[in-house]
Structure formats: structure tokens, C-alpha cells
Amino acid sequence: AQKVTQAQTEISVVEKEDVTLDCVYETRDTTYYLFWYKQPPSGELVFLIRRNSFDEQNEISGRYSWNFQKSTSSFNFTITASQVVDSAVYFCALSEAGSNDYKLSFGAGTTVTVRA
């Protein structure tokens, strides 16, 4: 069963527009961790944020912000005032404490294209 669903395959915006990426997850664990990674054309996965299941505080880091809602099992990511350098594939991922391996289950990714 798919544990992480990113319903948006591709999003295209013009520079300076805001873009929100959706992520819905599924788990039976009470302790789990959610992540966002960025994969630019070079291919390397770059870590952006990690949240644990007990911390529902939203977070802002520069132009990036994250909205974690356990009630809807969602962990959405917003880029404010997008820039061309934000063009990449963005992955949401889940790791579960119950298995003790903490392996990551990734969504299929959302390709963001920011046009100048």
C-alpha cells in the first residue's frame, strides 16, 4: 500500500508566484517522521525539513513553509515568491518508528518548474 501520496505530478508557475505541494501519508504508527527532500536536475536529494508526529507546529524557513495536520494526515509544503532556482522535483517521505529501521517511504514526487 502506498504510504505517501503526492497527487500533483507537475506544477508550473511564473517567478514570484507562490506554489503549494500536497503530501498525504498513511501509517498506523503513533511515532513517525515526515520529510521533504528536493532533487534538482543534478540528481542529489537535498534534505529540507524533518517533523516528528508529536510536533504539529507549522514551520517557516525563509521562503519555505510547512503545514503539518495530523487530522488530515497531510504535510504540505509552500514556496513563497518562487524563483527559477526552485525548479526541481520535490519528494515527501515518511519513516516509522515501529519498524526500528527508519527506512524512508517516498511519494512519487512533484516536479516544479518556475519560469522567468
Partner 1 sequence: DTGVSQNPRHKITKRGQNVTFRCDPISEHNRLYWYRQTLGQGPEFLTYFQNEAQLEKSRLLSDRFSAERPKGSFSTLEIQRTEQGDSAMYLCASSLPVDTQYFGPGTRLTVL
- Residues interacting with partner 1, by CB under 8 A? 4, 35, 37, 42-47, 50, 91, 93, 97, 101-109
CB 40, min distance to partner 1, A? 11
- Closer by beta carbon to partner 1, 10 or else 18: 10
Least distance between partner 1 and beta carbon 83 (Å): 23
Phi, psi (5° rounding) for residue 77? -130, 125
Q: Which of 94, 77, 66, 116 is nearest to 5 (CA)?
A: 94
d(CA 41, CA 22): 21
Closer residue to partner 1 in complex, CB, 47/81: 47
Between residues 52 and 83, which has the closer beta carbon with respect to partner 1?
Answer: 52
Nearest partner of 80 among 9, 21, 5, 7, judged by Cα: 21
Rounded to the nearest whole angstrom, what is the least distance from the CB of residue 103 to partner 1 in the complex? 4
Q: Judge contact between 115 and 103, C-beta under 8 A.
A: no
